[in-house]
Structure 1
């Protein structure tokens, strides 16, 4: 049986070249996967950022409402103390 040039093997060198080609294919797949993973993580971070912005807005709103309530309570208390002092002085 006669062997042609395509039937000849370079032994370990050819195997090493095949492994390098397979590794290059794996690297490309990993890069695609990494890019997909990066895009997914980026979208999740955007969603978290939006959620945190909404929480911050709600927190600011609650804070403003609390300040108004405290100011109203202070005003009512001062007025009540003033009325109490006037009623005590009138007796």
Structure 2
């Protein structure tokens, strides 16, 4: 089962929201708190923009650990809010 298997990008927000709720129930809000949720959301939406590449949840981790992979995936992002996260918020850290 691949949570991120979608047929079009319009499904991405719902999938990410559902996955976030699952993780909050599994780990609790004190572990899967607001900051983790933000990183999970934008990481997930980023890899799901390239849905034809059949992304998985493991790709979210790779976004934060592999700079070349992150640059490659962020370059494909069309969603302005998601792109702004990477360019303004993440890169400012």
Shared topology, TM-score over 0.5?
Answer: no
User: Higher relative contact order by CA 8 Å / sep ≥ 6: 1 or 2?
Assistant: 2
Which of the two has higher C-alpha Rg? 1
Higher helix share: 1
